[in-house]
Structure 1
Amino acid sequence: MSRQRRAARRSPAGYRSSLPWRIVTGGAQFLDRRIGWDRLPVPPGLATLLGLRVGLRRRNLHDTGRLPSVGPPDPAPPSERHRVDRTADGSHNDLGDPRMGMAGTRFGRNIPLDRIAPATPEDVLSRPSPREVSRMLLTREAMTPAESVNSLVAAWLQFMIRDWFSHGTSPTDRPWEVPLLDDDPWPERPMRIMRTPDDPTRDPAAPAGTPDTRINVSSHWWDASQIYGSNETEQRLMRTGERGRVRLWDDERSPFPSDPSRDPSRVPGFWLGLAMMQNLFAREHNAICDHLHGAYPSWGDEELFQRARLVNAALLAKIHTVEWTPAVISHPTTVTAMHANWWGLAGERVHRLFGRISGSEVVSGIPGGRTDHYGVPYSLTEEFVAVYRMHPLIRDEWPLRSAADDGTLRHCTLRDISGPGALKVLETTDMADLLYSFGTLHPGLVTLHNFPRFLQEFERPDGRLQDLAATDILRSRELGVPRYNEFRRLLRLKPPGSFAELTDDPEWARQIELLYDGDLEKVDLMVGLYAERRPAGFAFSDTAFRIFVLMASRRLNSDRFFTEYYTPEVYSRAGLAWIDDNSMITVLLRHHPELRTALAGLTNAFVPWRTAGQPLDDSQGCGSV
């Protein structure tokens, strides 16, 4: 039986075509277009989001695996351990289709495959060029803050992205050559941006016009591969071999790794925020191991490691679902919706008292429910990657302060805390002070004219200079992600009919119209996402949110370790209790109890923390302590 047919067989009968569901989706789309889900009271707003999700599941999941392919190789034959352990590469999550979602398999799409535009130079490098968009619409003069959240949201997001997806290392041959205007100060002419790696599984005999595909070198599953690695070799290197524990940099003292070849600071994108999250949840893994060892003293190293990995990955998914996401999209309807994704509308209290009271994910949440791929084999999608391009969250200026008295420790720039510089800051600054500084600093808003200046002139570890804003624009074009208006049409959203409708900022509308020569259909997706009106409480756009409505729940629905195998027999009772009983706040306080005052009274660690109230003195340089 084909992979597609097996997946379709697991979808509930009649889900897509039954009259009641057609009425639900049609009514939701009508209310959303006429009023807007965010302008409705919470109950009808929730019903509208539910209907929209049903429609997105029906029409916006498309499998690139059915395109001509020559691989990847079959994973190792299944064993009994595959039933209860996550594999290093993500294989065997679906026991009937062991390749599904594993590292090295293709990104899916949220648009029909015949709507993927080919990556021709005429389209990728068309006017305005990616560099012109970067300079004219994205450059930050002064940071626009997202005042309802703290900068841990930026660190957390990159930490999650390192788990979810990576296109891999770009080849150095055949770069895109971006033309520059005469007044552009870029030191290299033309600007060169490396291409996304080709898909090694693409059949060379595929017919002309077959859509381009790319692979995810990470596992597609929400399995904490940023901590545990994406293959057996990486996983063995990070394990201690004792009581299930993982290695912390140099015996928990110095952040510098003993082996220079394993220096994480040489990987593009490494910065202080990412290192802090890696450190925190590696320590959390070891704390879980100690807890499980106390509950089950007969368990050996392998059993402790595998159960702790399951628990840690589920805790990360829970924190993202019920804490991070409600913080960055803090509209009352979306806060309720995200909590319902995990606990159902019955709520956390009912879950704690009675467990699941219904087979319905709406009533009792997704964890512990039925595994469902909704007719399409699971994968993350290129559109999901595109809407997660949120570099404006990152600040350029990072004043670091003491958790004890809010006194200034040093003033760093983003350049100071990126690459090898991040390790130097970690070595000389207490982790509690770093967490406190992030917790009391606002991130940037995901909007136009708010891209970090440092990332527009980013020096990679290999010495090449890169404008990440221009690269983000080019990537969506290169990967065939539709431009903004077409993207909205394919999500059944009304596209703006004029530049004035695109944004509620008249000056931005004028700038965009001028840059795109009056052609609304050419406006890049990222520009439209950054320019459009945001729902109340949102740090990013409503259009991007539609992909999250679909994919945030899909990552849970399709993963048997969050659904049918989310049981005491697989996780252990002590493991499931750990997930229920913990949050980002308890994780922070377990490893850094000196943050208790800063976190006092908070129920969400991603909102601004309390300060000691002393004035901030930014006079010292990053080299001064």
Structure 2
Amino acid sequence: MVITERTPLTRPTDSPNYTEFSNILRTRTSRVRNFQCCVCAMLLALCMIALVVTISYSVNHTTENRNVTSLTLDSGNLLHSTWNLVRAEFVDTNVTALTDSEWQSGISAGHEAIKERVTANAGATPLINPSPNFRHQFAVSTSVFAGQLALAGLAEIAATRVIERGRLLLGKQSSIGAYFDSGWALDGRCKEFGNITCLKSKYRTYDGTCNHKRQWGSAFSPFKRSLPPDYGDGLSSPRKGKSGKSLPSAREVSLRVHSPSPSSNPSFTVMLAVFGQFFDHDITATAISQGTNGSSIACCPPATGHPECFPVRVGPGDPVYDATNSTCMEFVRSAPAPQCRIGPRQQLNQVSAFIDASVVYGATEPSAQYLREGVGGRLKMQVTPDNRTLLPPSENPNDGCNRILENLRGRYCFASGDARANENLHLTTMHLLWARQHNRIADTLARINPQWNDEKLYQEARRIVGAQLQHIAYNEFLPIVLGETAIDEKGLKLRNNGYWKGYDSKVDPAIANEFAAAAFRFAHTLLPGLMKITDAAKGTSSYTELHKMLFNPYSLYKSSGVEDSVSSATANFIQKTSTHVTSQLTRYMFEDPVANNSIPCGLDLVSLNIQRGRDHGLDGYPAWRERCGLSRPAKFSDLKDDLDADALAEISKLYMSVDDIDLYSGALAELPKTGGLLGPTFTCLITDQFTRLRQGDRYWYETDEAPQAFTKDQLQEIRKTSLAKLICECSDGIVNIQAEVMRARGPNNPAMSCVDILGPSLDKWKE
């Protein structure tokens, strides 16, 4: 085979590895030049090693090569089998361990990459604060620790590049999957290969460690993949079209495929989307590349650019950006995750994959401790003049939410277990309800067991809240999204009594990249552009534009604020699931909610979603259909029976090849066929994720494994949990509500008194 610049980064089909470095040295002169560069780099590495004492080459790779892994994936489909990302102990591979010279060249390349990135970060132009772009980057908040890990991930990519180039030149087997840890991971070890001492505990850790012996699903781990990444260069750069040319602008796809088209689904309420977002934030938090000390990065002119910039192109005639003479939309790539192996770029999840209520408590011990009151097992709250409790204030003036005039009135945005809590009013309300639920449970347990100390009360309340979140997600949310048929067929139905014994230590619960970057973003299509808000205190109703509810939680300080927010979420209908998204999210996203702009100046959430999938190297939509056991189209017309006709017409005009279609747009255009809200591809990907989150969680609330298991009596009480009862017990002024709050009121789901809605009793926790 003749190798050219466009030779894909894919090995022959008889090879166990899926990716190789595709850029080769094509002339003797360039080979010599690169050899000289390698020698210089090695000499530079020796000097740097002498100076940088925190980064050392201390791994005995000759004894560790038994841990190497391949990223080979079987061709089984997702509709008919359980599948997991192949991990080290399940791989039979002959990946050759790295030689001493390869280790040294990789270390040198990594050090140089880190040095160059630190320089680039220092010279980066920050975003204007406040601005829609700043609010967006804050909404995808990235911790300083994640930023430090990103440098390690960057170094691994650089090492992969130089090592793969060398092997390709020599005609040697690819090194993809080979163990590689040169001390860049700040904790001095690689989670997946290291051994962490874990004691048996009744309670989860905050970051998800010690749930599994391999630390699968723990915070600050890479997202998993069920298909190889499709990067432009095969290693790290964003996806391109199969022809090698750029894909159509994500903004153009948004305008033509996802244009607003108001609709209504009178069967379900906005609470479905609200809970979905809250729930999503419990299991996903993608780290974003950032500048020095966590600063934001500007990518569009007049900014000079940054290596992690991937702005969305905006063409002439744009209905929003023409008015501001903008030619691009700000977009910064997700941070690379360290993997302790040679391989293509992966992305970092900052929270644990487990449904553990980290969204309430925080995903690290320091954040959890900060939110505790320290007495009675309670979480910190602020008390209003009318004796209501609200989340503690966030006094960070640069959080994209706090406003000077509100702060002067003593009203601040809020602090919670997740930095995105203030993103919209309904989400903030959900955070408040669950924090109140924790304190309500802690207070009840304290009355039942006055001998329990603060730590015992806190951990028991946290344990119960986590179980209730799991129960509501699988009992109320997923049956609507996936349909009862998928729930039954895929074993997602919860037991009515007794223990569930489906835990499997071989199942990897880690969040899938395609789930976080595409599939679980479906709920953006459900939100209506106008939200009817009833002011309980005044007895009046009005309509509020959706974008004015973003980063604007101050109405919760009103005596009827919580009641108004809950009532609107449980009364307003969602939109029909389709490709169409309200202009509130495609023209006004993250605008100043109190400004009266004559022209839109917000962001386009759909463009950002599409761009994120390309950034992550998600393969085209047809590949995911095939992965799910569906027919793989060879041409656009093959999709005429599967996709909405109007959407398919626009898609076929925009993309050069059917294989270029973005997963997000293609899957949303599918016609639902399973009794749920979604088409078969997203149903498949979401079903898989929640199957693994249950089977791979040793602390799943239905388990019988000691010491974390609830007693059978306690478990029966938890099964009485409902979001409706939680709202009744934790809201202000809500006395009547439908029993299934994610479903619309009707003859089979009437509004009823809160006292008539069944709820759990905590008497079974008395010691």
Matched, 1:309 2:454: no
Superposed, 1:418-433 pairs within 5 Å as: 418-419=550-551, 421-424=552-555, 427=558, 429-433=560-564
Superposed, 1:235-254 pairs within 5 Å as: 235-250=368-383, 253=388
Q: Would the aligned equivalents of 2:391 and 2:435 in 1 still touch at CA under 8 Å?
A: no
RMSD: 3.8
CA distance in 2, matches of 1:380, 1:78: 24
Matched, 1:543 2:681: yes
**Corresponding residue number in structure 2 for 1:181:** 315
What does the per-residue CA deviation read over 1:132-190, in whole Å, with 9 as the maximum and x for residues that have no partner?
A: 111111121x4222332100011111101111111124421342133322212413533
SS of equivalent to 2:549:
coil
Deviation (angstroms), 1:422: 2.4
Deviation (angstroms), 1:576: 3.1
**Corresponding residue number in structure 2 for 1:222:** 355
CA distance in 2, matches of 1:152, 1:564: 26
Matched, 1:333 2:485: yes
SS of equivalent to 1:454:
helix
> Which amino acid is the alignment partner of residue 185 of structure 2?
G
Which of the pair has the greater relative contact order for Cα pairs under 8 Å at 6+ separation?
1
Matched, 1:343 2:494: yes
CA distance in 1, matches of 2:486, 2:464: 26
> Which amino acid is the alignment partner of residue 120 of structure 1?
S
2:742 to 600, 606, 625: 606
Q: Which moved more, 1:585-594 or 1:569-578?
A: 569-578
Q: Would the aligned equivalents of 1:108 and 1:380 in 2 still touch at CA under 8 Å?
A: yes
**Corresponding residue number in structure 2 for 1:534:** 672
> Which amino acid is the alignment partner of residue 196 of structure 1?
R
**Corresponding residue number in structure 2 for 1:444:** 575
Q: Would the aligned equivalents of 1:72 and 1:201 in 2 still touch at CA under 8 Å?
A: no
Q: Would the aligned equivalents of 1:143 and 1:395 in 2 still touch at CA under 8 Å?
A: yes
Q: Would the aligned equivalents of 2:531 and 2:544 in 1 still touch at CA under 8 Å?
A: yes
- Residue segments in structure 1 that go unaligned for 5+ positions in a row: 8-15, 30-51, 357-366, 614-625
CA distance in 2, matches of 1:569, 1:256: 32
User: Percent identity of the aligned residues?
Assistant: 22
SS of equivalent to 1:416:
helix
Matched, 1:487 2:624: yes
**Corresponding residue number in structure 2 for 1:514:** 653
Q: Structure 1 residues 369, 609: CA separation in 2 closer, same or farther (over 3 Å shift)?
A: same
**Corresponding residue number in structure 2 for 1:88:** 206
**Corresponding residue number in structure 2 for 1:71:** 185
Matched, 1:163 2:300: no
Matched, 1:396 2:529: yes
Superposed, 1:43-442 pairs within 5 Å as: 55-57=81-83, 60-63=84-87, 68-69=180-181, 70-71=184-185, 73=187, 74=189, 78=197, 80=199, 83-94=201-212, 96-97=213-214, 99-112=215-228, 118-120=235-237, 123=240, 126-140=246-260, 142-171=261-290, 172=297, 173-174=306-307, 175-184=309-318, 185-186=320-321, 187=324, 189-201=326-338, 210-250=343-383, 253=388, 255=390, 257-261=392-396, 265=401, 270-330=423-483, 332-334=484-486, 336-337=488-489, 341-344=492-495, 348=496, 351=497, 355-356=498-499, 367-374=500-507, 377-385=508-516, 386-390=518-522, 391-401=524-534, 408-419=540-551, 421-424=552-555, 427=558, 429-442=560-573
Q: Structure 1 residues 198, 189: CA separation in 2 closer, same or farther (over 3 Å shift)?
A: same
Q: Structure 1 residues 54, 242: CA separation in 2 closer, same or farther (over 3 Å shift)?
A: farther
SS of equivalent to 2:269:
coil
SS of equivalent to 1:389:
helix
The alignment's TM-score, normalised by the length of structure 1, stands at: 0.76
Q: Would the aligned equivalents of 2:586 and 2:606 in 1 still touch at CA under 8 Å?
A: yes
> Which amino acid is the alignment partner of residue 606 of structure 1?
M
CA distance in 1, matches of 2:210, 2:475: 28
What does the per-residue CA deviation read over 1:430-487, in whole Å, with 9 as the maximum and x for residues that have no partner?
A: 3223212111111123312224433443237899953221111111111111111112
Q: Structure 1 residues 492, 505: CA separation in 2 closer, same or farther (over 3 Å shift)?
A: closer
CA distance in 2, matches of 1:72, 1:477: 29
Q: Structure 1 residues 194, 202: CA separation in 2 closer, same or farther (over 3 Å shift)?
A: farther
- Residue segments in structure 2 that go unaligned for 5+ positions in a row: 1-62, 90-176, 291-296, 298-305, 403-418, 596-600, 752-767
Deviation (angstroms), 1:265: 4.0
Q: Would the aligned equivalents of 1:368 and 1:566 in 2 still touch at CA under 8 Å?
A: yes
CA distance in 2, matches of 1:249, 1:541: 44
Q: Would the aligned equivalents of 1:150 and 1:443 in 2 still touch at CA under 8 Å?
A: yes
**Corresponding residue number in structure 1 for 2:10:** none
Q: Structure 1 residues 147, 537: CA separation in 2 closer, same or farther (over 3 Å shift)?
A: farther
> Which amino acid is the alignment partner of residue 296 of structure 1?
N
Deviation (angstroms), 1:274: 0.9
Q: Would the aligned equivalents of 1:105 and 1:215 in 2 still touch at CA under 8 Å?
A: yes
Q: Would the aligned equivalents of 2:391 and 2:432 in 1 still touch at CA under 8 Å?
A: no
Q: Would the aligned equivalents of 1:396 and 1:413 in 2 still touch at CA under 8 Å?
A: yes
Deviation (angstroms), 1:282: 0.9
Deviation (angstroms), 1:247: 2.0
Q: Would the aligned equivalents of 2:589 and 2:602 in 1 still touch at CA under 8 Å?
A: yes
Aligned length: 537
Deviation (angstroms), 1:255: 4.3
Deviation (angstroms), 1:571: 5.3
Q: Which moved more, 1:396-405 or 1:216-225?
A: 396-405
CA distance in 2, matches of 1:100, 1:548: 19
CA distance in 2, matches of 1:3, 1:552: 33
Q: Which moved more, 1:569-578 or 1:274-283?
A: 569-578
Q: Would the aligned equivalents of 1:310 and 1:571 in 2 still touch at CA under 8 Å?
A: no
Larger radius of gyration: 2
Deviation (angstroms), 1:380: 1.0
Q: Structure 1 residues 165, 541: CA separation in 2 closer, same or farther (over 3 Å shift)?
A: same
Superposed, 1:15-26 pairs within 5 Å as: none
Deviation (angstroms), 1:490: 2.4
CA distance in 2, matches of 1:232, 1:438: 32
> Which amino acid is the alignment partner of residue 494 of structure 2?
W
SS of equivalent to 1:312:
helix
> Which amino acid is the alignment partner of residue 334 of structure 2?
P
